[in-house]
Amino acid sequence: MNAMLETPELPAVFDGVKLAAVAAVLYVIVRCLNLKSPTAPPDLYFQDSGLSRFLLKSCPLLTKEYIPPLIWGKSGHIQTALYGKMGRVRSPHPYGHRKFITMSDGATSTFDLFEPLAEHCVGDDITMVICPGIANHSEKQYIRTFVDYAQKNGYRCAVLNHLGALPNIELTSPRMFTYGCTWEFGAMVNYIKKTYPLTQLVVVGFSLGGNIVCKYLGETQANQEKVLCCVSVCQGYSALRAQETFMQWDQCRRFYNFLMADNMKKIILSHRQALFGDHVKKPQSLEDTDLSRLYTATSLMQIDDNVMRKFHGYNSLKEYYEEESCMRYLHRIYVPLMLVNAADDPLVHESLLTIPKSLSEKRENVMFVLPLHGGHLGFFEGSVLFPEPLTWMDKLVVEYANAICQWERNKSQCSDTEQVEAELE
């Protein structure tokens, strides 16, 4: 009887199917998480000079392996998603003062000012002027984390709040931030120079902010006065070149494009009365039909073409992207410039990275830093699963700024010594 109730053994082929299914799942996990990718120091592109040799000696992070969290840190998508969703872990809350500047067209620009929490390593008064990414502001977690770290290293920080990005600040003119408008950033820098006449500046831009700060410095030589150096992280350099890649499904860029466009629509529509109201003196090219097109837009390019370019009177999207991209201004920057991108950034196509590579081959003041991993503004560090509060990006920017400050201090001391020796002779 017991023999009759025994369950018959399943054929061996079933075990083979189970093993194949498990193997397939493991293969997908390994591929999606990019677990086989090695860790390595970032690729560096620069010209051999006294400055570059000093930086390599003074910035260990440039020659040291960047090690992301083991389980998920080698996936550019997960790094980007974590940055976009939670910003940073255990983010501090630095205390600052909000400043308001009335622009010539009636717009009200705001920035937050944070005083240093320690003495700077060279003992000087140094201010970091910081421009966040698209639709970002000083209250974003990745900005708060970076500001807190910079303060503890002796830097005063001024963080621009993009026009229209803060939900509790109303627009006072029919205009909001755009891809390459430097007016608000320039007003903030001028305020800092006037209020702190002895301070020197370190210019920092993240993503879209990287485009703005590089364009600002290259617009006129006067904008580089009192500037020690500039750091740009995860920007795309040319919107004209990027627009084609943003419509491709490769690396899910079309999906990211849709998500960012949806966020931009929400911000624009939250200011619809200030931008499109009947009482508003709108730009002549901005029509009521553009608002209806905004509702159906599924890409940043459609929003830029129907709304954003018209704030500044551009006749076409091509003209807007050509004029507002920093690519045509980079060669006019003469202060030390560090450009940072991640090779696995899903938003910045690899073809765009030829721009900083080419620039670093021609200019001694430029260093291009390209780690294998980091995603878009991720750069999390950690052992296995949980990331550290401070990222590789935060530490690199401050380390580079410290090195440049020391480089300038050494040059000044050498000049003073040479002057004394000349007077003695």
Sign of the alpha-carbon torsion through 368, 369, 370, 376: negative
Contact indicator for 109, 169 with CB cutoff of 8 Å: no
- Which residues have a catalytic role annotated? 207, 345, 376
DSSP state letter for 335: S
- In 141-278, which ranges are continuous DSSP H helix? 141-152, 183-195, 208-219, 239-245, 253-270, 272-276
Residue 136 CB contacts under 8 Å (≥ 6 apart), including other chains: 143, 162, 165, 206, 209
Q: What CA dihedral angle connects 365, 337, 394 and 262, to 10 degrees?
A: -150
What gap in Å lies between CA 317 and CA 309, rounded to an integer?
Answer: 7
What gap in Å lies between CA 77 and CA 345, rounded to an integer?
Answer: 8
Q: What angle do CA 39, 42, 47 make, to 5 degrees?
A: 155
The CA radius of gyration of the chain, in Å to the nearest whole number, is 25
Q: Which residues pair with 130 in a beta bridge?
A: 159, 204
Question: Token match 């109201």: residue?
Answer: 277
DSSP state letter for 339: E
Question: Token match 């196509």: residue?
Answer: 349
Q: Which residues of 203-237 are buried (b: 16+ CB within 10 A; e: fewer)?
A: bbbbbbbbbbbbbbbbeeeebbebbbbbbbbbbbb
Q: How many CB atoms lie within 10 A of CB 312?
A: 17
Cα–Cα distance list, 43 to 46, 66, 342, 421 (Å): 10, 11, 10, 42
Closest CA to 142 of 379, 324, 335, 402: 379
